[in-house]
Amino acid sequence: MRYSIFSLARQALSGHRNWQPAWRDPEPKPGYDAIIVGGGGHGLATAYYLAKEHGITNVAVLEKGYLGGGNVGRNTTIVRSNYMLPGNVRFYEKSLQLWENLSQDLNFNVMFSQRGVLNLAHSDAQVDAFARRGNSMRLHGVDAELLTPEQIAREVPALDLANARFPVYGGLMQRRGGTARHDAVAWGFARAADGLGVDIIQNCEVTGFRREGGRITGVETTRGTINAPKIGLAVAGHTSRLAEMAGLRLPIESHLLQAFVSEGVKPMLDHVVTFAAGHFYISQSDKGGLVFGSSLDGYNSYSARGNLPAVEHCVEALMSLMPSAGRLRLLRHWGGVMDMTMDGSPIIDKTPIEGLYLNGGWCYGGFKATPGSGWCFAHTIAQDRPHYLNSALSLDRFRHGEVLDEERSGPVPNLH
Amino acid sequence: MKLPCPLCGSRALEEFTYLGDASVTRPDPETETLDDWYAFVYLRDNPCGRMHELWQHSGGCRAWIVVERDTLTHEVFGSELARDRNTRERAA
């Protein structure tokens, strides 16, 4: 059923008793043309674009838990393409362009809100660095605007710009950036992929790979063996564990990131704002809660359970930036497992094993990449080679010294 | 989380700085290849469970220590000075 004002009116007249489930709950078939492991945003988007762009509809998405129950349902929902390195900026800009028409494309309101993403600078050197990044973005056809403290004070009055320790010297604004409703992204891609014939199989954990002469031929799962000549991994957070089953060792560590939501208040923050002095990012959700987060907890972890020093660091940054938020109570906070690569940039590529494809290493920036990642990964799987847009996000870039290190912090995952 | 420093006893997490996996070893200059360096700098086992890691007690005695910790439960099993571990492993 297509969602529209007419379908809504028709259902209203029958008392909303005839809505159909948004996707089927099929039993796994013995074989498919392609299997995507991981029913989060990236896996579902990959299946959708495989069906839509490449006509491969005999596809299964295998999800260990429930659909969208991982990081796609728990993040700070920021969407932007304000990267500096060419290999990154072209990829993230493609993703942002897909976001701009995603609700219409999926026939599902993902509530994409281009409210602008503002990075604050706290020293002359940071202003220079932002000007350089803004110029790089504009050379790639991406919008970027350098704002003065006076312009920022006018647009974002809630900020303390004259903070004694971290005064604001300026900011880089990407007005096409913003936020989206994270659950709706998972549900929208699932519904659209299902509508094109993709089987979404939940509660189905992959326990091993089937191989024949070095080639992947299928997966062992908790719901039986499923065969497919092409298998894509989209299990960021747990990529190393799946890769280990296939005998691969990767340039990835799993780390812990926390995020927070305050109680709901009236509109006080119209944009996404980042505080560069302490690595902190904040926006206000449509329900009114302030949604914010900061750096990693700092050590390898699969626990999805955060520590208190990281909470304190994050709240200190909030109080430096927006002292008025000190009266708010936290509604909830959560921790998730992040695939941290050695250079802070993701991987979408083939692997040395024929038939096995890898999408991972999203660090803590995977949400914004969801449509672009699915689009590029679908191309990589269908054509058996990376697209130009993800050609720099290769697995062997580390071996060849072609790392994409935006933060210039070296091969230390917990510093990215 | 608290970590046991062999010199200072059980101390709060904020006093320590994390380096990472203690099982990676620097390539031997006599036999090194480019692949050895690639593995040393970039590739990690990333275990879900028990792991030996290098921490520095940077806010305390500044000793480098090796902590054995579970990455799933955050349970800490013990620690020793990195120097002692190194000496023991070379002897073995």
Residues B20, A300: C-beta atoms closer than 8 Å: yes
Instruction: Judge whether residue A142 has pLDDT over 90.
Output: yes
Residues A398, B53: C-beta atoms closer than 8 Å: no
Is A27 within the bounds of a domain? yes
How many pairs of residues across A and B have Cβ atoms under 8 Å apart?
66
**Which DSSP symbol is given to B45?**
-
Sketch out chain B's domains with CATH numbers: 2-91 (3.30.2270.10)
For chain A, the domain total comes to 1
**What pLDDT sits at residue A166?**
92
What the block records as the tokens of A399 is: 């071996």
Instruction: Judge whether residue A277 has pLDDT over 90.
Output: no
Instruction: Judge whether residue A241 has pLDDT over 90.
Output: yes
Is A285 within the bounds of a domain? no
The mean of the pLDDT values for chain A is: 96
Q: Which residues of A touch B51 (CB under 8 A)?
A: 300
Instruction: Judge whether residue B48 has pLDDT over 90.
Output: yes
d(CA A61, CA A201): 6
Is A268 within the bounds of a domain? no
For β-strands A170-174 and A117-121, DSSP reports them as antiparallel
CA distances from A155 to A116, A117, A122, A287 (A): 11, 12, 18, 21
Which among A61, A64, A65 is positioned nearest to A28, based on CA atoms?
A: A61
Instruction: Judge whether residue A124 has pLDDT over 90.
Output: yes
Please write the tens of the pLDDT for every residue from A190-215.
999 999 999 999 999 999 999 999 99
Does residue A416 sit in helix, strand or coil? coil
The predicted model gives A399-406 an average pLDDT of 94
pLDDT tier at A159, thresholds 50, 70, 90: very high
The mean of the pLDDT values for chain B is: 95
d(CA A390, CA A380): 9
**What pLDDT sits at residue A209?**
97
Please write the tens of the pLDDT for every residue from A168-181.
999 999 999 999 99
Residue A249 at interface with chain B, using a CB cutoff of 8 Å: yes
Q: Which residues of B touch A252 (CB under 8 A)?
A: 44, 46
**What pLDDT sits at residue A76?**
96
**What pLDDT sits at residue A278?**
83
pLDDT tier at B22, thresholds 50, 70, 90: very high
Instruction: Judge whether residue A19 has pLDDT over 90.
Output: yes
CB burial string A131-162: b at 16+ within 10 A, e below: eebbebbeebebbbebbebeebeeebebbebe
Residues B1, A240: C-beta atoms closer than 8 Å: no
Q: Residue A11 CB: number of other CB atoms within 10 A? A: 15
Is A196 within the bounds of a domain? yes
d(CA A166, CA A159): 12
State what percent of residues in chain A have pLDDT above 90: 97
pLDDT tier at B86, thresholds 50, 70, 90: confident
pLDDT tier at A391, thresholds 50, 70, 90: very high
Chosen from B3, B16, B40, B44 to mutate, greatest number of chain A CBs within 10 A: B44
Q: Which residues of A touch B74 (CB under 8 A)?
A: 301, 303, 305
Instruction: Judge whether residue A15 has pLDDT over 90.
Output: yes
**What pLDDT sits at residue A81?**
97
Residues B48, A241: C-beta atoms closer than 8 Å: yes
pLDDT tier at A372, thresholds 50, 70, 90: very high
Contact A351, A357 (CB under 8 A): yes
Residue A305 at interface with chain B, using a CB cutoff of 8 Å: yes
Q: Where are the beta strands (DSSP E) in A47-191?
A: 59-62, 78-79, 117-121, 145-147, 170-174, 178-179
Q: Which residues of B touch A241 (CB under 8 A)?
A: 46, 48
Using CB atoms, pick whichever of B39, B46, B51 lies closest to residue A252. B46
Is A220 within the bounds of a domain? yes
Residues B18, A398: C-beta atoms closer than 8 Å: no
Is A129 within the bounds of a domain? no
Name, in order, each residue with C-beta under 8 angstroms of B56's C-beta and a sequence gap of 6 or more.
B16, B17, B19, B62, B63, B64, B65
CATH of the domain at A200: 3.50.50.60
Q: Which residues of B touch A298 (CB under 8 A)?
A: 18
Contact A352, A237 (CB under 8 A): no
Residue B38 at interface with chain A, using a CB cutoff of 8 Å: yes
Contact A387, A379 (CB under 8 A): yes
Is A389 within the bounds of a domain? yes
The predicted model gives A358-367 an average pLDDT of 96
Contact A356, A246 (CB under 8 A): yes
The residue range of the domain holding A240 is 21-78+182-252+343-415
The predicted model gives A11-39 an average pLDDT of 96
Instruction: Judge whether residue A141 has pLDDT over 90.
Output: yes
Residue A351 at interface with chain B, using a CB cutoff of 8 Å: no
Is A58 within the bounds of a domain? yes
**What pLDDT sits at residue A276?**
85
Q: Where are the beta strands (DSSP E) in A40-124?
A: 59-62, 78-79, 117-121
Instruction: Judge whether residue A266 has pLDDT over 90.
Output: yes
State what percent of residues in chain B have pLDDT above 70: 100
Which among B1, B18, B19, B22 is positioned nearest to B10, based on CA atoms?
A: B1
Please write the tens of the pLDDT for every residue from A296-309.
999 999 999 999 99
Instruction: Judge whether residue A272 has pLDDT over 90.
Output: yes
Closest CA–CA distance from residue A251 to any residue of chain B (Å)? 4
Residues A251, B44: C-beta atoms closer than 8 Å: yes
Q: Which residue of A has its CA nearest to B73?
A: A303
What the block records as the tokens of A321 is: 């930036």
Using CB atoms, pick whichever of B12, B38, B71 lies closest to residue A301. B71
Q: What's the half-sphere exposure (Cβ side, CA atoms, 13 Å) at B25?
A: 8
How would you classify residue A408: left for phi > 0, otherwise alpha for psi between -120 and 50, otherwise beta?
A: left
Which among A36, A398, A1 is positioned nearest to A204, based on CA atoms?
A: A36
**What pLDDT sits at residue A5?**
95
